[in-house]
Every structure is written in C-alpha cells, then in structure tokens.
Structure 1
C-alpha cells in the first residue's frame, strides 16, 4: 500500500505541494492530474524517495522508500532519460542491474517485452537510431523490466499514436491484474477516464478534485444529453437549466445544469417527430477538469 499523508513540499517560499493525502492499494490505478506546474512531478519524486517532503510523510508498505525496497518500484519520467549512444540491450542490462536483477533474467524479460511491443529487431540498435515513439516504448520497458509492485508513470502516452497508446493501456491493466499499484499522470484525459478508478487533480499544489471517478462525476452534477432527430435549437436553449446547445454534424449535445433538467428536456423531446437518439450522460473528466481549473490557466 502507498500512503501519502499530509505531504507538503516547499522550495524556499514556493509551495509546490500543499498538504496532499491519498492511499493507493494493490490493484488500484490512480490518476494524478493537473496543469503544467501543478505539483505532479514533485509528488512523483516524493513517492520515489528522491525528495523528502518538508512536512508529512509518504510510506510504501509502511516504510519510507529507500535502498531496501526501491527495487520493487518502477518509475517512468516525462522527459526521456535514455542513454542514446548505447544499444537497447546494453541500456536494459544497465537499468536492470541497478534493480539487482541478474543479466539472464534481464535479457529474458527484455525479449518478452520487445516481442510484446513488436520491436524485436531493435535489440542491438542504438537508442539514437530509434524513432521517438519507439524510444518511448524503450523507456516504458526500462520502468517495468523489474516487474514492479508500484509503477509510477509520468505522461506515459506522450508521443504515441492511438494504436501504441492502447498497447500501453493493455500492459498497465496487466500489471493491475497482477496486484501492482499504478499511479500516473496524463494530459490525455480520455484514457485516464477509460481505466482509472480514483483521481486527484492538483492546481498550484492543492487538490481541487479528489476521489473515485464515478463519485467525482456525480458530485459535479452537470450532464450532457445527446440527441439525433428533428428538434428546434431555440426551444432547447429556452428550457431553464440548459447551459448550452451544441449542433454537430451528426448529433445535438445539450449541456444541462443537473439531472433534474433532463426531465424538462425530455418533455420537449416527446413533442418532436423522428427522434432516433436520446441519451443522458454524465460530464466527461475533461469537462470537469476545464470547469475546475481552466479559468485559472487562462489567466497565466
């Protein structure tokens, strides 16, 4: 279990992280989100034991992270940190032995992951000869080569196409099934929403959104209604509680203040002909994120 207890990190007078608390249990996938400079990377570094919090504490299975348990952790940083003049094989032997792995075990796991990511032919190629996407795969493999029980991923999907992003998601899910704890950050909120169970959104080091994703959506209250059919846009806009009506090429999206407004929209829809679709859904994580921190970002 990973416990972040009232963690606070100061850089001089700058408060990078302000009294942050959360718990991640085995098998949990946890999203740590926020705008650039919100405190995510500082939090990751405290989790990894690279920084000691100014106040509070961070415990991995009841202990601080140190040389005695760091081998159980995998960390993928946002910036590429690969040694570009050596081969993939040499790089993995280096990273694996830093985790006290035997060379034979490193190469066996490397062969497995190279095949899984469809880059078997790159084993003896130098890192600098690989595309950015394939370098991202290698960096990911370096984080999981030791089969970690805690996997910390900072923007793991950066630079990946949709196919390879989905491949990364499958691997993360596999670690979850094995009981690993996964904590990650991503600006691709659709992927966060698709497989993350709990989230914290930071803004200037403070948690502005936190909890289970399903409850976060319920608490936000606002909803969307998707309609396909013949409707009068002006009549929809005139319904009390309707925030906005978006007319797309294939459907109409009605944004409403709460689920109570859906009844009034439906009462109007019942008077219309040729309605082929009427779906009420909760707001997306992206909408909630923008509503909570978007206006603050615009002022920067």
Structure 2
C-alpha cells in the first residue's frame, strides 16, 4: 500500500501542496484530479523522490521507499519522453533496463505487448515514424513492461481516439487485477469515473474531495433530473426549487435546489399517469469538478 501522510511542499511563498493525505491499496486505482496548478505534479514528484516534502511522510507497505523499490514503480509523465531516432524495440529495452530487466527478457516480451496494445508498428520501426497514438502506446508499454507494483499515470489517454482509449484502459485494468496500486490523473472526468475506485481532488494544493466515486457523487445529492413528460419547460421552471431547465432533444434536464424537489416534480408529471422517463441522479463527476474548481479559496 502507498500511504501519503500530511504532505506539504512550498516553493518560496507558494504552497504547492498543503497537508495532503491518502492511501492507495494494492489492486486499486485512485483518480487524482484538479485544475492545472492544483498540486498534482508536485505530489507525483514527491512520491517519485524527485523532490522532498517539507512536512509529511510517504511510505510503501508501511516503510519508506528503498532505492531498490523504486524499480517496482512505473511512471508515465504528462510530458512524453521518447527518443525519435530509436527503434520501437530499442526504446522499450532502454527504459526496461533502467528498471532492472535483462535485455533478453525484454526482447522476448515485446511482441506480446505490441499485440496486446494493438500497436500498428514493427519492433524495427523508428519512433519518429509512428502516429501519435502508437507512440503513446509505446511509452505506456515502456512504463508497464517491468510489471511495476506501483504505477503513476499522468494523462495516459491524452489525444487518443475512443478505440485506443479502450485498448489502453483494458491494459491498465489488467495491471490492477494483477495487484498493482495505481494513481491515475486525467482532465476527462468520464475516463476518471470509469476506471477509479476512489478519487482525490486538489485545489490550490489542498484536498477538497476524497472518497469513492459513488460517495463523492452521492454527497452532492440527487439534484440532476432528466424527464420526458407532458409538462412544459415553463411549467417546470415554476415549481419551487427547480433551479434550471434545459431542453435536450425530446427531454428536459433539470437542476434542483435539493433532491426532495424531485418528489414534487414527479407528482405533477405523473398526475395523468405514465410518463416515458423520470431519472433523478447525483451530478456527474465533470459537473462536480467544475463546481469545486470554481469555488473561492478560503
């Protein structure tokens, strides 16, 4: 288990990370979200021992990291770092050897990894000749081929089409099933919601959300309502506690002041019987992200 306890890091007068604590268990994915500058990268760099915290501690399975244990870690940075003139094989071998793998073992495993991620390239192709998507797959393979027990993925799906996102997501889920602890960061909240067991949101270095995806969403109440009924938008807006009404195809999407308003909407919509749809849900993770990111600092 990775455990962060009361991490704090300042650069001059700017506090980049302010008393951040969370755990990531084996076989679990934690989504770390926040706007640019929220403190995610600084947190990653402290875990990776690139920089030291001013206050707090980082432990792996109950003890500080040893130098050898850093070979058990896989890191995919937001800034990609492939060498354009290298071949696919030599690039993967290079990174794997840095993590303690033997060259012969890496070369033996490369074909199955290229197949698993459906890389449209040969091992002898040069990185500079690959599409962006295939280059991104190569970097992810280089991050995972040594079977790390702790993985940090910073924007792994950036710029990929939905098909390739699905392929890479399956690879990450396989690693989770094998027992890896994974920290995953993305600005696409749909991706975060689909893969994360728990999430942490940072704003100005402070934790403002922490829990499972369901816990976080449910904490905001079932204030989003989609309805298809005889009621018009004007009639719905006239109901006390209905904050907004937005037409969406044949349906209307409502935001409620609180979830109890849904009962009144339901009673009015169904007074003459059956209606095609009434769906009351918590806000999506993207809506929560926008709400929390826009709150003033206190």
Q: After TM superposition, is the score higher than 0.5?
A: yes
* 3-state DSSP of counterpart to 1:193: helix
Change in CA separation of 1:111 and 1:197 when aligned onto 2, cut-off 3 Å: same
* 3-state DSSP of counterpart to 2:41: helix
Equivalent-residue separation in structure 1 for 2:106 and 2:115 (angstroms): 14
Q: Deviations over 1:45-90 (max 9, x none)?
A: 1111211111101111223334210111100000111111111111
Q: Gaps spanning 5+ residues in structure 2: where?
A: none
Superposition deviation, residue 295 in structure 1: 5.2
Which residue of structure 2 aligns with residue 105 of structure 1? 105
Equivalent-residue separation in structure 2 for 1:231 and 1:123 (angstroms): 61
Please show how residues 1-300 of structure 1 align to structure 2 within 5 Å: 1-119=1-119, 121-271=121-271, 275-294=275-294
Is the Cα–Cα contact under 8 Å of residues 229 and 269 in structure 2 kept in the other structure?
A: no
Equivalent-residue separation in structure 2 for 1:20 and 1:198 (angstroms): 15
Superposition deviation, residue 273 in structure 1: 6.5
Change in CA separation of 1:126 and 1:272 when aligned onto 2, cut-off 3 Å: farther
Size of the alignment, in residue pairs?
A: 297
Change in CA separation of 1:272 and 1:195 when aligned onto 2, cut-off 3 Å: farther
Q: Deviations over 1:224-259 (max 9, x none)?
A: 111223321111111122111110114211111222
Q: Gaps spanning 5+ residues in structure 1: where?
A: none
> Once superposed, which parts of structure 1, at least 4 consecutive aligned residues long, lie more than 3 Å away?
none
Equivalent-residue separation in structure 1 for 2:119 and 2:173 (angstroms): 21
Equivalent-residue separation in structure 2 for 1:291 and 1:262 (angstroms): 21
Equivalent-residue separation in structure 1 for 2:45 and 2:227 (angstroms): 46
Superposition deviation, residue 13 in structure 1: 1.5
Equivalent-residue separation in structure 2 for 1:74 and 1:66 (angstroms): 15
The alignment's TM-score, normalised by the length of structure 2, stands at 0.95
Superposed CA RMSD: 1.6
Is the Cα–Cα contact under 8 Å of residues 209 and 216 in structure 1 kept in the other structure?
A: yes
